[in-house]
Amino acid sequence: MSKRYAKPLTVDELAKVKDEDIDFSEVPQLDDAFWNEARVIKPDRTQHVTLRIKKSVLDHFKAGGRGYQTRINTVLESYVRSRQRQGDGAA
């Protein structure tokens, strides 16, 4: 017997849900065909570097609060991917 919830559950509420109350009806079964096509993808880990950035650029990202280094990395990654799509491997 599955139960629908009116809003997303908090972590504490989710921990209290019994296995038999979880609705798996929309979760596809993973058959042999799925596993035959599956491949391991290693995560692209970050690397600690020292980088000189103009103060105005750093101030802009820091103004957004916590996570500014992640936002800087996201912008740089977006730039690299757009160059790769254009066929220009050299950034």
**Model confidence pLDDT, tens digit, residues 22-65:** 888 888 888 998 899 899 999 889 899 999 999 999 999 999 99
Alpha-carbon gap, residue 64 to 62, rounded angstroms: 5
Report whether 68 contacts 61 (CB < 8 A).
yes
Residue 2 pLDDT > 60, yes or no?
no
At 28 the pLDDT is: 87
Q: Where exactly are the structural domains of the chain?
A: 11-85
Report whether 3 contacts 23 (CB < 8 A).
yes
Which residues have C-beta within 8 Å of that of residue 46, sequence separation ≥ 6? 73
What's the whole-model pTM score?
0.52
Which residues have C-beta within 8 Å of that of residue 23, sequence separation ≥ 6? 2, 3, 4
At 24 the pLDDT is: 84
Q: Name the residue among 37, 71, 33, 66 with its Cα closest to residue 53.
A: 71
Helix (H, G, I), strand (E, B) or coil at 81: helix
Of 2 and 61, the one with more pLDDT: 61
At 91 the pLDDT is: 52
Alpha-carbon gap, residue 88 to 21, rounded angstroms: 51
